[in-house]
């Protein structure tokens, strides 16, 4: 059975006192999950706090970005080995905000995925098309290219330890989510692209949906056969919403089993 997971992406939000509520809720929720995994991807400065709060719980945590260099004169950057020291087990790479605001291209994203794997952590590789690309009928082409760059770099072996997140750019933070059917079509495309190299890897690969997921639309999305959980931005900052989304993913796992 494929691992189901729900990863919260706090983006550039949080404060030391404010995080406490979210961490306590995540710890409690993770303890109630039978199969699904709950992951929090937080800003770098909070990793020590998160590690302290979640260490003895069933929740996992990670970062939202990483340098593809192992070390050196790269002012302002953070290496995969540093993230590992703070107990991270997941790292988001290639989020569309990194791609569009910080100029990360497919090649850089693939190097970052490789750096994460080299430290024994799991990259959450984000792919997704813009609205104009979708309207031009280029969705599969765009996602195929994004995926191929990563697969070429890390190979099927690397993909076996990775997670893919499909996040249509037009659905991120807009309140406009892809319909379960729209998302399922792209998830099936991603899985079949991986299957061309390895059926076994494709069958085992968790593919998350991200883009305006809320407790109210999570169930419909998680019912789809190729949607294995979510990457949650805004709703991960609301303890009750995030907990409900995690539980929705878990119920679907138990139903599928
Ligand atoms: P959103 O963000 O849930 O706020 O749309 C998702 C993401 O960017 O990962």
In terms of CATH, what superfamily is 5-256? Aldolase class I (3.20.20.70)
Q: Is 210 in the pocket of ligand 1 (CB under 6 A)?
A: yes
**Could you report the per-residue pLDDT of 74-108, keeping only the tens digit for each?**
999 999 999 999 999 999 999 999 999 999 999 99
Q: Residue 17 has which token pair?
A: 């006192």
pTM for this predicted structure? 0.97
Distance 231 CA to ligand 1 centre (A): 7
Task: Find how far residue 208's CA is from the centre of its chain.
Answer: 6
Nearest atom in ligand 1 to 236's CA: 3
Dist. CA 74–CA 67, nearest whole Å: 9
**Could you report the per-residue pLDDT of 119-138, keeping only the tens digit for each?**
999 999 999 999 999 999 99
Please write down the HEC assignment for all residues of the chain.
Answer: CCCCEEEEECCCCCCHHHHHHHHHHHHHHHHHCCCCEEEEECCHHHHHHHHHHHCCCCCEEEECCCCCCCCCCCCCCCCHHHHHHCCCCEEEECCHHHHHHHCCCHHHHHHHHHHHHHCCCEEEEEECCCHHHHHCCCHHHHHHHHHHHHHHHHHHHHHCCCEEEECCHHHCCCCCCCCHHHHHHHHHHHHHHHHCCCHHHHHHCCEEEECCCCHHHHHHHHCCCCCCEEEECHHHHCHHHHHHHHHHHHHHHHHHC
* pLDDT at site 1: 78
- The neighbour count for residue 141, using CB atoms within 10 Å, is 12
Q: Is 232 in the pocket of ligand 1 (CB under 6 A)?
A: yes
Q: Is 244 left (phi over 0), alpha (psi -120 to 50) or beta?
A: alpha
Q: Is 234 in the pocket of ligand 1 (CB under 6 A)?
A: yes
pLDDT value at 253 more than 80:
no
* pLDDT at site 255: 65
List the beta bridge partners of residue 24. none
* pLDDT at site 77: 98
Mean pLDDT of the region 222-230: 97
Question: Which of 174, 213, 242, 244 gets mutated to test ligand 1 (max ligand atoms within 8 A of its CB)?
Answer: 213
Q: Are 181 and 145 in contact (CB under 8 A)?
A: no
Distance 234 CA to ligand 1 centre (A): 6
Dist. CA 105–CA 164, nearest whole Å: 17
**Could you report the per-residue pLDDT of 157-196, keeping only the tens digit for each?**
999 999 999 999 999 888 888 999 999 999 999 999 999 9
Active-site residue, 167 included: yes
Distance 39 CA to ligand 1 centre (A): 14
**Could you report the per-residue pLDDT of 31-64, keeping only the tens digit for each?**
999 999 999 999 999 999 999 999 999 999 999 9
* pLDDT at site 91: 99
**Could you report the per-residue pLDDT of 232-246, keeping only the tens digit for each?**
999 999 999 999 999
Active-site residue, 35 included: no
Closest CA to 67 of 113, 127, 10, 19: 113
Those residues whose C-beta lies under 8 Å from the C-beta of residue 132, and which sit 6 or more positions away, are none
Q: Residue 244 has which token pair?
A: 């409900």
* pLDDT at site 251: 87
Dist. CA 162–CA 189, nearest whole Å: 17
* pLDDT at site 257: 59
């Amino acid at each position: 059975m494929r691992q189901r997971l729900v990863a919260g992406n706090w983006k550039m939000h949080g404060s030391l006192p404010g995080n406490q509520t979210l961490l306590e809720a995540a710890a409690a929720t993770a303890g109630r999950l039978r199969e699904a995994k709950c992951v929090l991807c937080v800003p770098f400065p909070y990793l020590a706090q998160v590690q302290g709060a979640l260490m003895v719980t069933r929740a996992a945590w990670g970062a939202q970005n990483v340098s593809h260099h192992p070390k050196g004169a790269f002012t302002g950057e953070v290496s995969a080995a540093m993230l590992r020291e703070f107990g991270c087990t997941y790292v988001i790479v290639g989020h569309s905000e990194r791609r569009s605001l910080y100029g990360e291209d497919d090649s850089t994203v693939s190097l970052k995925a490789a750096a994460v794997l080299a430290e024994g952590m799991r990259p959450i590789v984000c792919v997704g098309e813009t609205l104009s690309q979708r309207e031009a009928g280029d969705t599969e082409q765009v996602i195929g290219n994004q995926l191929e760059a990563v697969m070429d770099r890390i190979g099927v072996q690397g993909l076996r330890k990775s997670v893919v997140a499909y996040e249509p750019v037009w659905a991120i933070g807009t309140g406009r989510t892809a319909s379960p059917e729209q998302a399922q079509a792209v998830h099936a495309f991603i899985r079949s692209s991986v299957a061309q190299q390895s059926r076994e890897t494709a069958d085992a690969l968790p593919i998350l949906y991200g883009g305006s997921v809320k407790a109210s639309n999570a169930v419909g999305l998680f019912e789809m056969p190729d949607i294995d959980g979510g990457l949650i931005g805004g709703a991960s900052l609301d303890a009750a919403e995030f907990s409900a989304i995690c539980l929705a993913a878990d119920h679907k796992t138990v139903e599928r089993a």
